[in-house]
Amino acid sequence: MPRIHRKPDLDHPAPDKRGLLAHGDGVAPHRHTEGQLLYPSTGVLATTTDRGTWVTPPNRVTWTPPGFEHYHRAYGRTDVRVVEVPGALCASLPDRPMVFTTSPLLREALLVLTGGRELRPDARARLREVVVDELVDVPDETLHLPEPDDDRLRAVTDLLHADPATPSTLAELGRRVGASERTLSRLFATELGMSFQRWRSLLRVQHALVGLAEGDAVIDTATRLGWANPTSFIEAFTAIVGQTPGQYRRELRRRDG
């Protein structure tokens, strides 16, 4: 459970706001009557619901629809920009939590809405509509780590959460939880919509996003999280995040500066 951090008031509704979270700070489980967009202009923000965890670096924005219980945790010094989405606009967005790619226009609109600038109500409403329009066509599920309902599969994912770097095969993990490799492979596909290898790779990349945000070197991150070599890590990271680990670190440093 993340440490509760109340100062930014991220768990209370307000039209548009901004909050600074220190590394490790969190916001306790809560829900909203309206939709909520969270954009970390610096740092990394994790949002967790009963459907899984979304890790959001500065090139993504997290969408949480009305009514979903969720909580947050920050990694690194995180400048969180929050935009509340009225019910009338929520219908244009997915009815489940999601991560979106942050286009240049979307990023600038979010920064203006949350930057403290005085805006006429009609101008603010139009800018919020621009944000929603930018989101409609750019959903990005690559940073969503789904969580299972099946007890056998959850036992396996719990082992992987505890040790993302483990080289254990699915068959070896299955023997530890009392389930066959075939059964677990089927459950990964039917419950989580991906293979065991893909789920573990995504888990490791989520940990890598956090480690790199904290200043870890690329090679050290690859070793710590169990990749066979840095090249394998770079390829997996780039496929999921859309940029190399080195590019991601440079972008974080630029925005923090």
**What torsion do the CA atoms of 154, 157, 158, 163 make, to the nearest 10 degrees?**
170
- Give the whole-angstrom CA distance, residue 11 versus residue 13: 7
CB 76 within 8 Å of CB 25? no
Kindly report whether the global pTM for this prediction surpasses the value 0.85.
no
Q: Checking phi first, is residue 52 left (phi over 0); if not, alpha (psi -120 to 50) or beta?
A: left
- Give the whole-angstrom CA distance, residue 138 versus residue 135: 5
Write out the chain's pLDDT in tens, 257 residues: 344 444 445 555 556 888 889 888 888 899 889 999 999 988 889 999 888 888 898 888 999 999 999 999 998 888 999 999 998 899 989 888 888 888 889 999 999 999 888 889 899 999 999 999 988 766 666 788 999 999 999 999 999 999 999 999 999 999 999 999 999 999 999 999 999 999 999 999 999 988 888 889 999 999 999 999 999 999 999 988 888 999 888 877 776 55
